[in-house]
Amino acid sequence: MELGIYSVGDVTPDPVSGRTPSEGQRLAAMVTIAVKAEEVGLDVFAAGEHHHPPYVASSPATLLGYVAARTERLMLSTATTLITTNDPVRITEDYAVLQHLAGGRFDLIVGRGSSAPVCPLFGRHLHESEAAGRRELRAAAPALA
């Protein structure tokens, strides 16, 4: 069993101060949390992919690459890479590079997005999401093996 922390990068008001952090502050906080997770002995830090407010984790590969540079043993993961809104070849390329740079500490999780506001951003319709995800996962499978 592995224990860890995952974040979807939500930008919400601080429950104590009531202040809402900027996107940059939220990303910096996610990195701080990941570094602290390693310091206290947790096993994994994962970042979920989102493409609309109030979330900032639209590029988990970039975020996790930065975390990899700041940590030594922490496993890194996506808490879902959206196979329905990304080119499967691009997913493979980005995360293969991350796997090399992180010294084998990366774990990819793919899934389909089900958020109605996101699909039109990528020229998709929500009702097509599931079929597209299956089709693209089959296309990516040989490269991910």
pLDDT of residue 69: 98
Q: What angle do CA 51, 53, 58 make, to 5 degrees?
A: 30
pLDDT of residue 131: 60
92-123 residue pLDDT tens: 999 999 999 999 999 998 877 656 666 666 66
Residue 30 has pLDDT above 60, yes or no: yes
Under DSSP, is residue 97 helix (H, G, I), strand (E, B) or coil? Answer: helix
End-to-end CA distance of the chain: 23
pLDDT of residue 86: 81
Residue 32 has pLDDT above 70, yes or no: yes
Average pLDDT over the chain reads 86
Q: Tell which wins on pLDDT, 82 or 116.
A: 82
Q: What pTM does this model have?
A: 0.79
Q: Are 11 and 54 in contact (CB under 8 A)?
A: yes
pLDDT of residue 37: 98
